[in-house]
Structure 1
Amino acid sequence: MSREGDASVHVLGVRHHGPGSARSVRAALEKLQPDVVLIEGPPDADALIPLAAHAEMKPPVALLVYAIDRPAQAVFYPFAVFSPEWQALQYALERTLPVRFIDLPQTHQMAPEDEGTQEGREPEPKDEAEARTPRGDPLGALARTAGYEDGELWWDHLIEQRQEPEGVFEAVLEAMSALREGEGELSPREARREAHMRRGIRQAKKDGFQRIAVVCGAWHAPALVQQRPAREDDALLKGLPKTKVAATWIPWTYDRLGWRSGYGAGVESPGWYAHLWLTPQRPVTSWAARIAHLLREEGLDASSANVIETVRLAEALAALRGLSTVGLGELRDAALSVMCGGDATPLVLVHERLEVGTGLGSVPSEVPSVPLARDLTSLQKSLRLPPSSESKLQELDLRKDLDRDRSRLLHRLRLLDIPWGTPEADPRNTTGTFRETWRLKWEPELSVRIVEASLFGNTVESAATGRVVARASDATELGTLTALLEASLLAELSAAIDTVLRHVQALSTRSADVPKLLEAFPALAHAVRYGSVRETPTAPILAIADGLFERIIIGLPGACVSLDDEAAHQRRDQLRAMHAAVALLEGGERTEEWAEALGQLVHRDSVHGLVRGAALRLRVELGRVGDEELGTLARRALSAAVPPNEAAAWLEGLVSGSALLLLHRQELWAALDGWLSGLAREAFVEHLPLVRRAFAGFSTAERRAMGERVKQLATAQAAGSTAGATEDLDPERVAKVLPVLSTLLGVRIHEAV
């Protein structure tokens, strides 16, 4: 505590998310009865503080502050119900006390000249609670001094599970003061932040407040207790650059409070901390009961007796470890032994569902937001698709109006780079069906994406249209445009479809790059099919596709010669995709032209072996190659005159795909057997990996069937040799044996003969 005149300043150093710290803050505020509360937080959001008392505000929530002209540059200030800052806010608002944020405003921190932007890059959205921690691990240092290996465990037992707050802040202040003595100079950013917080305290004194309570991170407490001359702080804060920022409240999730999320806020098990806050009485017993309930929901045995034994074992472990209270570690070990029978697998579920938690907070509708966010919220309500932090599957039947509207919304959001939903399978692989499967999970950072997307429009439809039109105008590749066209059809953006089609038409007429045309054509074919499924007119798309098809047919032979191995694999994949697209359009004349073009590749020696083999394979799939022709081509491609590496490439191109199509082609297997048998030992060893690679894509069952085919081939050859031998037998001597065989076998062999 510090004094200046008649004003008293009480600095409460806390951990940003901790139930013990939150409980101590409430108790300290009740005792101090301050007339103003100052909190380490963004002054840019002071106008939003009253909304924290709204009945519809349900933590976890976060303050989002972003640069208006660069929405991707944003920071989050998360709050859980057990956050000390949240409890300080609630205390002040319940009593209508003045409450202010006093950290360095983000209008200065986000200015381009500030750290993180000097090299011309925009920093990623971050959790400001992480940014508010010092370098190093001060908790770890204190824990080691106290005989603990884990700073998290030490703080948990000393502070967060503490029921009696008396003396906590004095002890924390003393410890942090000692730690800061060996830290050296602060970074310029940290120095400015602490200078601004001291300025906030001085301003409160100037405003006539007598009892000032300051809630800040424990690391900053010593710097705020020891006031520096105002002129020094003013010098640090003079002339700071500015940028325009905006702030709002957004829902947050417990997993985003955990270290594992990548937005670490200094708390490993937020679900456990929420339990300690909400269940201060008998937390150990109630936690064990929650574990049992969760396991029963998953079909696992967990009786009341198991709960009792888990609690007893946890208490015994705490005593053996010299701990005054049972912690999460003891409960976890006890549950592993008693409820899980030593199997750690169920504990993964316990960690995700209980220790971390899956809750998603909510904010009132009065919270300021961009029009796009309000439109999305309205659509979520009307379509009965509430956002959730849990990962859930959503099955959609496009024949139903509601499901079709849901699909349209999810596809439009994907065009806006707001991946609330992710298709479980590529929609192009389900062409012609009326079903889609999505995995939905709402992530807090999607709120930043919404702000970014609002630059393109005020509704989801107009923003998605605007985004597609902008990307189409900037596109220089035909493949980019056709992908945009397909996505626009899925999203049912009629205005965007017309614009993209114009760009596709203009670019396709100028393009003579056959590989690029090969990449673009499948997307157009899928667009035609999906357009028909979604009742979208496809005649203009089909006309463009036909134009591309003719240029591909003309230029395909030239595009497949003089290829290296890497280019050959790329061309092979393009031929496969093109083949599937031609089949998708179901055009008889188009199929004939495609088969003829493939035939030109099969018989052209200047074409890479892999491409020739793949072209032959596709003709086989079309039913254009008989057994005799296949055998002839195989013997030629696998002859001794062909270099082994080229022969292996041809084989890889031919066999890759469905095994069933080639399994009963006797001539092919005979040619392959002859080729392998004729290789010299050194060549066989060298090219065996290439042959194995050709067959590596088949399933175990398919490879087994191929093995049986090879065995049959060997048996047939042996049978042929035996048949040749039987021609030298003496018929008279054979006739003498037949009666004996007839008696032994019980059949009338001589009659059959």
Structure 2
Amino acid sequence: MSEIHVFGIRHHGPGSARSVRRALEELAPDIVLVEGPPDAQSQLPMITHAAMKPPVALLVYASDSPSQAVFYPFATFSPEWQALSFALERGIPARFMDLPLSHQLKTEEKEEAEGEKELHDDPLGTLARAAGYTDRELWWEHQIEQRSDARGMFEAILEAMTELRAHALFPPAHTREAQREAYMRKTLRAATKEGFQRIAVVCGAWHGPALVAPSSAKTDDAILKGLPKTKTEATWIPWTYSRLSYRSGYGAGIASPGWYGHLWQSGGHPGQASFTWVSQIARLLRDAGIDAPSASVIETVRLADALASLRALSMPGLAELTDATLSVLCHGDASPMNLIRTKLEIGESMGEVPEESAAVPLQRDLAAAQKRLRMKPIADPKPLELDLRNEHDRGKSRLLHRLNLLGIPWGRLQEIGAGKTGTFHEHWTLAWDPELTLALIEANIHGNTIESAATSKSSEDARNANLAGLTALLDATILSELPEATDSVLERLQERAALSADVFALMDAFPPLARAIRYGNVRQTRTEHLASIANGLFERIVVGLLPGCASLDDDAATRAREAIGRVHESVALLDRADLASEWTAVLQALLGRGEIHGLVRGSACRLLLEQRIIETVELERLARLALSPAAPPAAAASWVEGLLRGSALLLLSHDGLWDALDAWIASLSDEAFVEMLPLVRRGFSNFGAAERRRIGERVKNVGRGPQARAPSAGPVLDAQRAAQVYPVLSQILGVEIP
């Protein structure tokens, strides 16, 4: 007669894992059945591989649709991991017994389409509330994780769950929970028929009663009848402590995986766990420049022990150590606790899996590239600076840009500098998220190598992209050094540009071409075929800009100003006299067109002023026109905002401009002034503090002092009356005028 021993656990916890290990050693089972996906049965031998270092996760996904996937995470302190390790180390058969994902993935798809939802109870929360706890995590830690004697614990858990299930609202037989438990019972019957005498079952505590309760094979077969099925694949992937809170498969979230990892490593010795934990906190604080003497470490441990005694606990837990740390090491300041929480309580330890683990070709190609370029994936964000004149660094840049094209953002580009394609330096931040492995598997449909997959996906994306999307894609393919993809994008870009009537979309497409032409040699990009496309775009921009800027609202004017600025930079970058002459003529034409939005006219005036194409007399004339009483106040304020965008130093010496601004503000009615004040302040908001101070000094001298022009006529400035205006001007400029 077979004996079935059910060990109901919570899915992550050092106390549970230690108790399961001891119980299995005492039982010496013939087979160990663990709640988990039978689809991954072939991956179990990898657990004892020397290169396997938790935290890791089993990834099970649909072969024809990798986006349908489930992660099953394991840490060293996971009871399932210890149970499987126990069995495999001793040559005892070990099997997963949950409902296969080949059924669950298709069922999930159907349930989502039909809008069905599971009913889930919170058994731990119910028990915690019955015991007077408001925190289920704290209750579990006190009752299970800190338990020094585990005898009778699993029997008590089974009894408690049986009582809870008897009074709980349980899902009907056709739902997922019932199907899972029916399959578990089916697996138990199969093990019994095979002749195993002592069968150990490690599963979530809630399922325990369903596995020992009488049930017929006929009933379970009826529950499982007609389940859809799909082909699945499984592999091991590295995981992180921070991702152990990810709820997928049976991976229930835990609040403090770093703390649990520390408890496991300490071997369950209370005194050692407390002292080494506080020592790590002190080291972390010292690294952050916070004083943490050894005497304070000892005092913190003593206070934690005292708190545990007051709370009738056998040993200090995380709550006691946290309270003691806050009081002693942090002197009541909660700010350092955020650092402790992130770096220690949660942690960012990342596991490793053997190279022999099942992988799609794209994974293997990435692993080979990472090894060749010495780019080990880690979870903690890490800065990476590259010099593109160095071939090794260029290889890293190519890889990161190509992965981004594939939707695998291992690296995020932080800063490139002025000429995006032309600079020799790139600044990245690298951080490997385990979910990127799933994205990598999905991307394998595009090709078996990073280069071929990125080329294929870029060409496909180009077929459906609009002009703005093609512009971004062109930039990405050039940075990725994918000549075939670049040619494909350029061809599509040329077609789209020929049909586009949106001049601003054309202007957005011009800068990447200009950068590629100017700096193509940095990435060895062929540029001879880019010039003709760029010339065609530029001519259409020149022709369409004036009518395109007519009758714009505020949002459209902002877009126009930004597009004009980018094209202006691109023309300067190309350094061609013919293009510069045409562009200058267009900007000058914008200045005198009344139907053009004030923001655009002011920006054009600013660009021409910076190139010294507009002289002081002309600037003053334009200012008087734009700020005349006949001009609507909102249009005048927009012109000021456009003109002031940039360095203030260029404008400080233009007396006529300040006189015009002064006269305009003085001419506003009280209502108009209140309405225009935010717009005017916005115009000055981009200046630095030093620039605003100089502007304040300049405003004080409008119409007087050595910088003022000799007054030929008009009233003498009344200093007393002028002083009354200073508070208002201070508010406009955002600086104090003495």
Which of 225, 232, 237 matches 1:238?
225
Residues 372, 460 of structure 1: 8 Å contact kept: yes
Aligned twin of 1:742: none
The amino acid that maps onto 1:237 is: L
| TM-superposed deviation, 1:261 | 12
Aligned twin of 1:63: 58
Structure 1 residues 27 and 422, CA gap change in structure 2 (3 angstroms):
same
Aligned twin of 1:420: 410
Q: Does 1:692 align with 2:681?
A: yes
1:292-691 equivalences in 2 (<5 Å): 292-425=282-415, 430-475=420-465, 477-691=466-680
Distance in 1 (alpha carbons) for counterparts of 2:193 and 2:563: 74
Residues 471, 508 of structure 2: 8 Å contact kept: no
Aligned twin of 2:98: 103
Structure 1 residues 503 and 612, CA gap change in structure 2 (3 angstroms):
same
Structure 1 residues 723 and 642, CA gap change in structure 2 (3 angstroms):
closer
| TM-superposed deviation, 1:288 | 1.6
Q: Deviations over 1:212-240 (max 9, x none)?
A: 11110111111112132222211111010
| TM-superposed deviation, 1:443 | 0.5
Aligned twin of 1:11: 6
| TM-superposed deviation, 1:350 | 1.9
Which of 5, 8, 21 matches 1:26?
21
Between the aligned residues of both structures, percent identity stands at: 56
The amino acid that maps onto 1:235 is: A
Q: Deviations over 1:300-351 (max 9, x none)?
A: 3323222211110100111122222200111112122222222223322222
Structure 1 residues 263 and 441, CA gap change in structure 2 (3 angstroms):
farther
Moved more, 559-568 or 710-719: 710-719
| TM-superposed deviation, 1:260 | 11
Aligned twin of 1:750: none
Aligned twin of 1:745: none
The amino acid that maps onto 2:610 is: E
Structure 1 residues 723 and 669, CA gap change in structure 2 (3 angstroms):
closer
| TM-superposed deviation, 1:27 | 0.9
| TM-superposed deviation, 1:45 | 0.5
Aligned twin of 2:195: 208
Residues 652, 693 of structure 1: 8 Å contact kept: yes
Aligned twin of 1:48: 43
Aligned twin of 2:691: 702
Secondary structure of 1:646's aligned partner: helix
The amino acid that maps onto 2:521 is: S
Distance in 1 (alpha carbons) for counterparts of 2:351 and 2:710: 80
Structure 2 unaligned residues grouped into runs of 5+: 717-738
Q: Deviations over 1:49-108 (max 9, x none)?
A: 111111111111100011111111111000000000000100110111111111111111
Structure 1 residues 708 and 290, CA gap change in structure 2 (3 angstroms):
same
Q: Deviations over 1:138-193 (max 9, x none)?
A: 32222222122211011011111223211111121122222223321226111111
CA RMSD in angstroms comes to: 2.5
The amino acid that maps onto 1:269 is: S
Secondary structure of 1:424's aligned partner: strand
Q: TM-score, normalising length from structure 2? A: 0.92
The amino acid that maps onto 2:44 is: I
| TM-superposed deviation, 1:593 | 0.9
The amino acid that maps onto 2:102 is: T
Residues 134, 219 of structure 1: 8 Å contact kept: no
Structure 1 residues 527 and 161, CA gap change in structure 2 (3 angstroms):
farther
Q: Does 1:162 align with 2:147?
A: yes
Secondary structure of 1:324's aligned partner: coil
Structure 1 residues 428 and 244, CA gap change in structure 2 (3 angstroms):
farther
Structure 1 residues 618 and 112, CA gap change in structure 2 (3 angstroms):
farther
Which of 259, 262, 266 matches 2:253?
266
| TM-superposed deviation, 1:613 | 1.6
Residues 36, 213 of structure 1: 8 Å contact kept: yes
Which of 186, 196, 204 matches 1:217?
204
Distance in 1 (alpha carbons) for counterparts of 2:606 and 2:54: 60
Secondary structure of 1:358's aligned partner: coil
Secondary structure of 1:715's aligned partner: coil
Distance in 2 (alpha carbons) for counterparts of 1:531 and 1:262: 49
Aligned twin of 2:85: 90
Structure 1 residues 83 and 573, CA gap change in structure 2 (3 angstroms):
same
Distance in 1 (alpha carbons) for counterparts of 2:145 and 2:385: 43
Secondary structure of 1:213's aligned partner: strand
Distance in 2 (alpha carbons) for counterparts of 1:378 and 1:239: 43
Distance in 1 (alpha carbons) for counterparts of 2:114 and 2:519: 45
Residues 119, 171 of structure 2: 8 Å contact kept: no
Distance in 2 (alpha carbons) for counterparts of 1:694 and 1:719: 23
Secondary structure of 1:539's aligned partner: coil
Q: TM-score, normalising length from structure 1? A: 0.90
Secondary structure of 2:208's aligned partner: helix
Moved more, 30-39 or 350-359: 350-359
How many residues align? The count is: 711
Structure 1 residues 505 and 26, CA gap change in structure 2 (3 angstroms):
same
Residues 256, 264 of structure 1: 8 Å contact kept: no
Structure 1 residues 470 and 620, CA gap change in structure 2 (3 angstroms):
same
Structure 1 residues 285 and 505, CA gap change in structure 2 (3 angstroms):
same
Q: Deviations over 1:504-541 (max 9, x none)?
A: 22332333431221121122223334423222221212
Moved more, 640-649 or 43-52: 640-649
Which of 138, 146, 149 matches 1:153?
138
The amino acid that maps onto 2:137 is: E
| TM-superposed deviation, 1:481 | 1.6
Residues 23, 165 of structure 1: 8 Å contact kept: no
Aligned twin of 2:69: 74
Distance in 2 (alpha carbons) for counterparts of 1:615 and 1:335: 60
Secondary structure of 1:118's aligned partner: helix
Distance in 2 (alpha carbons) for counterparts of 1:77 and 1:466: 32
Residues 428, 526 of structure 1: 8 Å contact kept: no
Q: Deviations over 1:461-493 (max 9, x none)?
A: 111111111111222x22222221111111111
The amino acid that maps onto 1:55 is: A
Residues 107, 227 of structure 2: 8 Å contact kept: no
| TM-superposed deviation, 1:664 | 2.0
The amino acid that maps onto 2:567 is: M
Distance in 2 (alpha carbons) for counterparts of 1:566 and 1:50: 61
Distance in 1 (alpha carbons) for counterparts of 2:36 and 2:153: 22
Residues 412, 491 of structure 1: 8 Å contact kept: yes
Structure 1 residues 111 and 167, CA gap change in structure 2 (3 angstroms):
same
Secondary structure of 1:502's aligned partner: helix
Secondary structure of 2:415's aligned partner: coil
Distance in 1 (alpha carbons) for counterparts of 2:675 and 2:284: 57
Structure 1 residues 345 and 528, CA gap change in structure 2 (3 angstroms):
farther
Aligned twin of 1:228: 215
| TM-superposed deviation, 1:616 | 1.4
Moved more, 15-24 or 520-529: 520-529
Secondary structure of 2:69's aligned partner: strand
Residues 44, 105 of structure 1: 8 Å contact kept: yes
Residues 43, 101 of structure 1: 8 Å contact kept: yes
Structure 1 residues 93 and 263, CA gap change in structure 2 (3 angstroms):
closer
Which of 190, 193, 213 matches 2:180?
193
Aligned twin of 1:743: none
The amino acid that maps onto 1:423 is: L
Residues 108, 114 of structure 1: 8 Å contact kept: no
Secondary structure of 1:63's aligned partner: strand
